[in-house]
Amino acid sequence: MSANQSIFPKTYQITPTGVEIGGCNLLELAKKYGTPLYVYDEQTIIDICTDYKNSFAKYHDVQPLFASKAFMTKAMCAILKKQNFGLDVVSGGEIYTAYKSGFDMSKVMFNGNNKTLDELKMALEYGIGHISVDNFYEIELLGKLSQELNKNQDILLRITPGIECHTHEYIQTGHLDSKFGFDLTQIDEAITSIISKYPLLQIKGLHAHLGSQIFETQVFADAVDVIFEQFKHIKDAFGIELTEMNIGGGLGITYTTEDNPPSIQTIADIIIEAIDVCSQKYGVNKPKIYLEPGRSIVGTAGVALYKVGSIKQVPNGRKYVSLDGGMADNPRPSMYQAKYTAVVVNKINETPVETVTLAGRFCESGDIIIEDINLPKLESGDVVCVFNTGAYGYSMSSNYNRVLKPAIVLVNSAQSDIIIRRESYDDLLSCDEVPDRLL
């Protein structure tokens, strides 16, 4: 079983002294660092990176890229660098984080549907490996910039393969009506524009990303077929033999017992077999593969610790247990109706006796973390652990209500280290300016 198929981090265990992750007692972590607190298990991240590498090992040329939008910090870059992973980045901030971390920028791919001129310039100046070009506007922007800077740049064309996954509509990206990528009918025009106007842009391959939190398997084989069909068409129409394929990421993880995602090995076998079949079917050489796992790398590795505050029993209604975090440190429940699993850390051996709704502290009625969960009798001061918050918790966090962002701790071998310090009120005000006329 790969880590994406488990609710719990690899090192999660219940011991006589309490709940541990990475050999660290969660209750002690909450006391030492405060709450809310993100806790990441380094071993889980390493193990699932290893799973990806081992699962695709039989293919001749594979480069996994971590989808940075899931969780991007300098410490995360350091872990990935040791694992020989590359990075898929989508903003200047992610590019800058990678660069300042000493990451090999040749292993970085820049993705996104509306890259700015400044971001593209940064990418070229930092020697980024690939840019996944998303639209005609970007072709012109990047093409002219490459000429001004006299920089050759390897690119992929991002295509919309017309494959719809059964996931939340907000995280479907491969279907036809999408803001991402070129429609298949636009590829010829895009290539013609590049080869006729912008010779410093080197078209290496195609990029197709299907979406996020995917449980289906056939969609990956379908995407490979679409890409190979386009490889053949481009070879016949332009005499260009593309050598690289970015199949995207999106493999789902287990948030609750109702989830049943496929293993990494299963997805790898399907993709590799599809490439074998399509290579013969279309008479095209097997390309280098790029993968973009994000959630499946860090989702299971991260948990969030909260402290219970107020408790409200609605007459003839729900019992609301308010935590000291919520939609500002994890907006997924309010955005995607995401479901989670939780335990009460300091009452881990007690029997669940009541159904409660774990509510956030923010001034929105929709700020609910988990609705109707069975837990032991809760009291103010109890510590709740919510699992699978490693992806899109911190990266989507905000200062809504001017609440400070939590700290992040990395644990491994009974050692805990701060990798993002807790914000202070001075941090919160650090970008504020007051015009003289208001003083």
Residues belonging to the active site: 363
Bridge partners for 398 per DSSP: none
- The structure tokens 């109702």 sit at 258
Structure tokens at 411: 């644990």
- The structure tokens 């609750």 sit at 256
Task: With beta carbons less than 8 A apart as the criterion, state whether 345 and 30 touch.
Answer: yes
Picking from 303, 309, 299, 321, the residue whose alpha carbon sits closest to that of residue 385 is 303
Euclidean distance between CA atoms 374 and 355, whole angstroms: 4
DSSP state letter for 348: T
Bridge partners for 211 per DSSP: 172
74-101 core/surface letters (b: 16 or more CB in 10 A; e: else): ebbbebbbebebbbbbbbbebbebbbeb
For 379-396, the DSSP string reads -TT-EEEEES-SSSSGGG
- The structure tokens 């939780």 sit at 342
- The structure tokens 């990395």 sit at 410
Picking from 86, 124, 133, 153, the residue whose alpha carbon sits closest to that of residue 292 is 86
CA 107 vs CA 38, 87, 88, 285: distances in Å: 28, 6, 9, 23
